[in-house]
Structure 1
Amino acid sequence: MALDSKLKDLESMTIKRSEIGLVQGVPLVKDMADNWNVIWNFQARPDDLVICTYPKAGTTWIQEIVNLIQHGGDPEKSDQVPITTRMPFIELILPKPFPSDLKKAEAMPSPRTLKFHLPVQLMPPSFWEKNCKIIYVARNAKDNAVSYFHFHRMNQGMPEPGNWDQFLEDFLDSKVAWGSWFDHVRGWWEAKDRHPILYLFYEDMKEDPAREIQKVAHFLGTELSEAVLTRIVQHTMFENMKGNPMVNYSTIPSFVMDHTISPFMRKGTVGDWKNHFTVAQSEQLDEVYARELEGSGLTFRTNL
C-alpha cells in the first residue's frame, strides 16, 4: 500500500494486518469497506486518466510508462518523487497518521493520473459520467496469483495470506482483497465496448514493450519518436525499475512493506507460476478459468 516517503521516520511503528470487509459482495481491505461512501462519491474530472488493474498485474509498470509518455520520455522530469505521490491510489484508506491518497488527489491540479484496483462495478460513477479515459492491464491468473501471494507476505497491511496452498484456495474462491480475478478481468473486458478503455495484456507488454507503449501513446493522443520510444522501453525494463527507488516502493517504511521477505518488484516474468503450482492446482485453476471466462472472448497466455 502506498505511503509518502516522508513517513520514513516512523520505522519504529508497527501495523496490524487488515481484515476483509465486503462492498456489494466484493471483498476489500476493511478500512476501504468501512469508508466506502467517501470512495464511491469521489468526484472525477473530465481530463482525469485512470489506471486500473487487478493487484499485481503490472500496475507500477504501466504507471511508469504513462508518466514517461506524459513527460516526453524524460525520466529526470517524471521521476522527481515516488510514483505513489505522482499517481494517488484512490481507494487506499490508511489509519492515522498516514495521509489519505483520496485527499491528495482532490488537491492535485489537473490533469490527474489516478490509480485503482476496483472491479468495474465498484468504480465511482463520476468516472463514467465524465467519460474519463481508462487504461486497464490484465495478467494471466496463474502468474497473477503467485505475485499477489508474495505481495501479501511482504505487505504487513494486507490480510494474512497463510501458506501458498491456502492462498490459492482463497484466490480461486474469490475471498482475497479485490475479489474474483475472473470477474475483474471479464468485467473490464466487457466495459471496453461502452467506454474509452484501453485494455492491455501483461504478456503482450513483456513480448513487445515498444508495440504496447505505442498503443498507450496513441490512446493518450501522443506520437512518440523512435528515440523517445527507445528511451521509455529502456527505462521501464524490469531490472531498471527494480533498482529505481522512485518506483520500487523502497521509500515505504519497512514496517509496512518488508522487502527482506519478498521485494515489491520480485521477478516480473511470465511463467513463474510453474515454480509454485502443483499439477493438480494448475488443472484446478484451468477448470475455473474455462467456466468463468466461457464466451467472453478473453484469452490469456501463461507462457511466452
Structure 2
Amino acid sequence: MSTLDQTTTRPSASGTFADRRRTITEAAYRIRHHALNMGAVQGQGYVGQALGAADIFATVYASQLSFRADQPDWEGRDRFLLSTGHYAIGHYAALAEAGIIPVDELESYGSDDSRLPMSGMSTYTPGMEISGGSLGHGLSIAVGMALGLRHQGSNARVFNFLSDGELDEGSTWEAAMGGHHHQLGNLTAMVDINALQADGKTETVLRTEPVAEKWTAFGWYCQRIDGNDAGALLEAFDNAAARAASHGQPSVILCDTKVGRGVSLLENREKAHFMRIEEHEWQLCREQLAAGYEGTASA
C-alpha cells in the first residue's frame, strides 16, 4: 500500500520532523524490497544502485514532489528527471510506492512488452519524464525544462537525479553554468555519490573532487550529506525548498551513498555496478534487508 493518497498533489509537510523522517525510512525500505523482487525476475541488474539510492527516491517522492498519482501528466506537476537511466529499477520502485504504477506490475521488469524496461524510457512508463541511455544529458534537459516552466508562468519545480560518474561529462558542467546563468531557482539537482562506475572506482576513472567546491564555484547552493540518512536528506531538501523561486540560485544536494545499502551481502560485493546474483541468494538478500530494517525500527 502506498503511503501517498492517490489524489494528493503534494506530499504533506505537516507533522513533526520525526514523523516525516519515519515516513521516509518506511518508504525507503519498501523501495529496496521492490528492487530486490524486480532484480530476482532477471537474476541480475543494477540492484546495488537502487538499494543505495532508495533513501533519496523516498525523500523526494514522500516529502517534496508535487504530483497526482492518477494523472502522471498533470500540467502542474513537479518534474523528476532520472538522468541515470540504468537506475530505473529504483525509480520504478519509487513510482510504485507513490501509487503512479501498480506494485503488481513490477513483476514485469525487463520482460518483453513490459512498460518497465531495464533502462528508463519516457514513452513506456508513466511518471518517467525522460529516456535514459547515454549519461550526462539529464541536467541539460532539466535546465531547459526549468527555463521553459518559468516562461509559462508555472510554479512547478524540476528535480534532476544524476550520478557522480556523470560529473565526468563536460555537458553536465555546461548545464551547471546554464542553470546559474539563468538563475533557475526552480531547479534542484541531486548527485548520487557512490564512488563507483562501470570501469571501476570513480576516483581512478576521473578524479572529480573537490566536488562541493566545484558546484559552489559554478554558482549553485550546494549541500553535501550522508545520502543514506533520512534525517539529513529531509533537512537538505527542505533547505532547498525554502530557497526555491522562479528566479534565484539553483540548488544541488550531494548525496554520499553506499552501493547495496541495507543488504550486507551486496554491500561487500566487488563487481557491484551490474550485479549477477545467484538464485539462492535473493531470499538471503531479503532476509538481511528485513533484519536491518527491523533493527533500525526498534532502536
Q: If the TM-score is normalised by the length of the shorter chain, which range does it land in?
A: 0.3 to 0.5
Q: Tell me: higher relative CO, structure 1 or 2? Use CA pairs within 8 A at least 6 residues apart.
A: 1
